[in-house]
Structure 1
C-alpha cells in the first residue's frame, strides 16, 4: 500500500489532518464521539478525508458504540473523547472493551505539552497513566510527525492475540501543529494487518482423534468465532461431521447457522440433558468461548466436571485451561483452526450417531415452563416472558438483538429464538455493565444500516443513557428500543426477596418510580413510541411505531413477578445453617471454630 498525503486548500497540514489520514489509510470509515475543542483539528481532518463522525450525548455511549461496531464488523472501532472530563466519562467503555475483548482505538487529547502540571483547564488527570490498567496499550504522542508510526503500532496491539482497547493521547498543540513532511515517521501505517495465527497441526490431529472417539461430542462457539470466515468454516465443519453446534450467551452471529440441521441453540440447553434422561457430552470443542460465567461457571451444568474431553481454541493462551482442565489447547485464530480441521477430516473422519444428533438438536425446542403460565399475573400486569415473546415473534426477519439489564435480559434471552435473530449481543458482558446496550446498539446500527436493531432495556438500565435515543433520531438509525418496565431493579428486588424474605420490612434502594414515562420521553427525543400494558395491544402498537421512519420505542408495563430462574440460581438462597449465602457467586461453608 502507498500513502499520499492530502494537503488542505488554504491552510497548513496539521497533526489532526495526519491522524485522520492515517486512520483513513487503514480503512477507518466511521468514528464515534462527542465534541471537544481539543479535538477540532482532528475532527476537521476527518471531515476533509471522508470519515463519518457519529456524535452521541455521552462519552461512555460513544466508546461502547465503537465496541458494538467492532463486534459487528470485525474491524477496530474508533472513538474520540475530549480531555479529562470527556476522557473520564469514556473510561467505562474502555473497561467493557477490555473485559469483553473488543478491538477499539480511543483517541483523546490533553493540554499543551508546555502546560503539563500547570493547573490548566482539563489537565488534572494523567490520561495515559489512568488508561493503562484498562487498555492493551496507552501512549502520549509528543511530535506530530510520529503519528503514523504510533497509530499503526496501536492498531496492531489492539488486534493481536486477544483483541482489546488501545488509547492514544494527542495533546492539543500536537494536533494543531503544522507537520513537516520530511520528518514523518511512517512506521507500518502502509503495511496490511498481519494474517491471524494458525494452529499446530499436531493439535489439530489430536483434536480430531478425540472427536472421532467421542459418542456425544458437541461444539460451543463464542465471540472469538464471530468473523465471517469463522462462521463459514464452522458451517462446513459441522456439515461434514454432523456435530451439534451450540452458542454461548455472550455474543454470536446466528445467521446462517439457524438453517443448519445440527444447530442446537444456546449452550444453556446442555443443562437440560439430565432432565431428558441423557448423559452429558463426552467431548466439547470450545471455539473462542471462554469458560466461566457464560458457560455455567464451575457448577458443571454446561461443561461437565468429569468424563468429558475438552478441546479449547482461543487466540489468548492465558484462557486455555483457565477454569477447568483441558485435553487439547489450541492457541490460534478460530477461523484458521476450523479451516485446518476441515482439511484434517480427509485423514481423520468424524462421524456422530443420529441418535445423539436428534437428542442434542431437540434441546432448543423444549418449551420453557413459563409458556404454560398465565400471560397476565395476579397483579393485573403482563408476565415479562409473555410480553417479550409476543413482541419478538412479531419482528421483521433477521433482527440484531442487544440485551441489557438484569432480569429483563434473561427474559429476553429466553424468548429471543422466536425472532430468529441474525445476531445476539449480551451487552452487559463480563462486567455486568448495565446501560451499555445503548452504545452497542448504536454501533451495530451504523455497521448494519439495513437491519433492524432491537435494544432491549429494563427500566433500571434504561435510566443510564436513555438520552441517546436523541442520537438514534439525529443519525436516522433503525433502532427499536424496548423498555421492560416493572418499576424496580428486578434482579435486585427479587434477589432481596430470596435472601431475606419476610425477615426485613423494606427493600433498600431496589425500587424505581412508577411515574416515569419512557414512551413520552422517547417521543420528546424524536422516536415514535407507544406504551403497552396488555398482551393484545402489543401487535398494533408495534406495527404503528414501525410504520414510521426513524427509530422507535415500545414501553412494556410488566409485573415484577415471577422471579427469573437465573436470579434464583445466582442468588443461591439456602436455609442450610452450615452455608453462608453469597448472592451472585457460589455459596461458601460457614467457618467452624474450636
Structure 2
C-alpha cells in the first residue's frame, strides 16, 4: 500500500506531521489525550490529516480510554501525553494495558535532545527507561525521518509482534518524540519507511501435532469445559468457538478479564457464564470437569489459583492451555498439553481436524452434566428473598441494581456495560444479563485498579457512537476520575454513569469487620462522606443527574436521565450490607 505524504500549505512538513501521517496510514482515526506544548507539532499534524483528537481531564483517563477503545474496536488504541508530568499521570494506563494485554500506543514528548540531562523543564524522568517494564516496546525517536519505520514497528509489536527476548501477546507500546524531533522539518529523501507499506502479518498458528493431541484428549473427556480469557476476544475466535462448542456440546465459560461478546450468549447453545460458577457444581449435584481447555486465559486469582475449586487437581482433570505468550503456559498449574498459538487459529485448526476426523471424536461428552454446568448461572440469587430495604432505611444493593437494570432494559437496547469498583462491580455483575449487554467490560483486574471504568466508558463511547454506554461505579471508584463526566458532556457522548453510593469503601470496611469483628470496632480509612452528592456534581458538569433513595423512584428517575441526548448520572443510595460472598471469601483467605 503506497504512502502518500500530505504537505501542509502554510508551513514545512515537520516530524509531527510525519508522525500523524504514519498513524493515519496505518488506519488510526482517533487519539485520546491532554494538551501539552511539547506535542503541538504532532497535534497540528493530526488536525491536518483528520485524526480525531479526544481531550480528557486527566492523562490516566486518556490512556485508559485508548485501552477501552482498543477493547471494543478490537484494534489499536492511541493516546498522547505530554512530557514528564503528563507521562507520569499516564503510567497507570500503561500498567492496566499490560495486565490486560491491551494493544495501545502511547505518544509522548520530551525536551530537545541537546538538553538531555540538563535539568530541563519536564525533562527529569527518563520516560523510556521508566516505560520499559510496563510495555512490550518503548523507544525514543531521535530523527524525524525515522517516524514511519518506528511507528510501524511499535504498532506491529502492540498488535501481535514481540521483542526478540520474549514471546508475548498484545500489549502497550510507547514512543517518545523529543520536541525538536517533532518540530524539525523533514528531509524527504532521508525518510525511513520500514515496513509501514507492508501488509499486516498473519497470526501465529498451532503445531500440527499439538492439534492432533488436543483432539485426542477431547475424544476421551466426558465433562470438558472451555474457559476463555482476554486472549480470546477477536471476532474470528468467537466465530470459531461457537462452531466448536455447538458441534461438540462442550460448554464455554469466561474469566473476569474477558470482554464478553453477546454472540457467545445469544448464538451459543452452551454458554455457562463466569468460570467461577464452576466452583458451585456441587450445588447442582454435578462432578467437577475432567478436562479444561484454557484459551488465552491466565491462571491465578481469577481462576482460584491452585485451590482446585475451578480447575480441579491435576490427577483428576486434564489441562490444555493455549496462549500466544509461552510464558503463561504452566505458570501456575501443571499442563497436559501446552500450545503457543493465536487462540483463534488454534480453534480453527481443531475445527478443521474434527471435520476430517472420524465422527464422534467428542462423542463421550455427558450432555446431562453439561446442562447442569450451564444451569448454574441461572440459579436464583441467594439475595432475592432479602427485603428491598435494609434496617438502615437504605436500599439493598442487589435489589437496587436489579430493579434499576430492569427499568433501564425497557428503554435501552443492548448497551455496552462497564463495571468498576469493589463490591459494587460484583453486585452489578450478578444482574448484568438483565440489560442484555452487547459487550461487558470489567474494569478491575489483577492490578485491582479502581476508576479506570471512566476511561473505558469514554473509549467505548467513541468507538461505538450509536450504542449507549452504562458506566457503573462505586462511590469509592467514582472519586478517581469523576471529572470525566465533563468530557462526556463536552463531546455529547451517550454515557450513563451509575454511582452506587453506600458511603464507604465497601470491600474495605466489610473486610475489616470480617477480620477483626467486635474485638476491635475501629474501621480505619474505610469510610466515605454521606453528604457528597454525585448527582448534584454531575449536573454541574453538564450531565442530567438524579438521586434515587427509594425503589419507587426508579422509573421516573430513569426517564429523566434518558429523556435527551448526551450523558447522564444516576446516584443510587444503597446500604453497605449485606456483605457480598466474594468479600467474605477474601476475608477467609
Report the TM-score, using the length of structure 1 for normalisation: 0.95
Return the match for 1:218 from 217, 225, 229. Answer: 225
1:105 and 2:105 correspond: yes
Shift >6 Å, 4+ stretches: none
Deviation at residue 354 of structure 1 after TM alignment: 2.5
- After superposition, residues 129-528 of structure 1 pair within 5 angstroms as 129-159=129-159, 160=161, 161-259=168-266, 260-306=268-314, 307-346=316-355, 347-348=357-358, 349-351=361-363, 352-394=365-407, 395=409, 396-528=412-544
> Hey, what's the Cα distance between the residues in 2 that align with 1:68 and 1:296?
26
CA contact (8 A) 2:224 2:251 kept: yes
Q: CA deviation at 1:251?
A: 2.4
- 1:162 aligned counterpart, secondary structure: coil
| Alpha-carbon separation, structure 2, partners of 1:178 and 1:199 | 46
DSSP-derived class of the 1:246 partner: strand
- Contact 1:222–1:247 at 8 Å: present in 2 too? yes
Could you tell me which residue of structure 2 aligns to residue 531 of structure 1?
547
Which residue does the alignment assign to 2:42? 42
Structure 2 runs not aligned, ≥5 long: 162-167
Shift of 1:539: 2.3
CA RMSD of aligned residues (A): 1.1
Is residue 226–residue 293 contact of structure 2 (8 Å, CA) maintained in 1? yes
Shift of 1:261: 2.0
Determine the C-alpha separation between the residues in 1 that align with 2:219 and 2:122.
61
Q: Displacement, 1:330?
A: 1.2
Return the alpha-carbon distance in structure 2 between the equivalents of residues 302 and 423 of structure 1.
24
- List runs of 5+ in structure 1 lacking aligned partners: 573-585, 587-594
Report deviation, 1:230: 0.7
Give the match's secondary structure for 2:175: strand
Matches of 1:204 and 1:190, distance apart in 2: 34
134-143 or 459-468: bigger deviation: 134-143
SS in 2 for 1:381: coil
| Matched residue SS, 1:118 | coil
Pairs within 5 Å for 1:547-566: 547-566=563-582
Q: Distance in 1 between matches of 2:342 and 2:200?
A: 14
Paired residue secondary structure (1:169) = strand
Q: Contact 2:113 / 2:180 at 8 angstroms: preserved in 1?
A: yes
1:495 Cα deviation from its structure 2 partner: 0.5
Q: Is the 8 A contact 1:251 1:423 kept in 2?
A: no
| Residues 258, 420 of structure 1: 8 Å contact kept | no
Contact 1:145–1:180 (CA<8 Å) still a contact in 2?
yes
Question: 1:109 offset after TM fit, Å?
Answer: 0.4
Give the CA deviation at 1:234: 0.8
* Kept in 2: contact 1:14–1:41 (CA 8 A): yes
SS at match of 1:430: coil
The aligned runs of 1:561-580 (5 Å cut-off) are: 561-572=577-588
Question: 2:227 & 2:294 partners in 1: Cα distance?
Answer: 5
Q: With the length of structure 2 as denominator, give the TM-score of the two structures.
A: 0.96
> Retained in 1: the 8 A contact 2:71–2:259?
no
Find the aligned partners of 1:265 and 1:98 in 2 and give their Cα distance. 25
Partners of 2:225 and 2:292 within 8 A in 1: yes
Output one character per residue of 1:51-84: Cα deviation in whole Å (capped at 9) or x when no partner: 1111100000000001111111121110000011
CA offset at residue 547 of structure 1?
Answer: 1.6
CA contact (8 A) 2:254 2:260 kept: no
Aligned residues: 573
Alpha-carbon distance in 2 for matches of 1:56, 1:255:
29
* Counterpart Cα distance in 2 of 1:354 and 1:152: 48
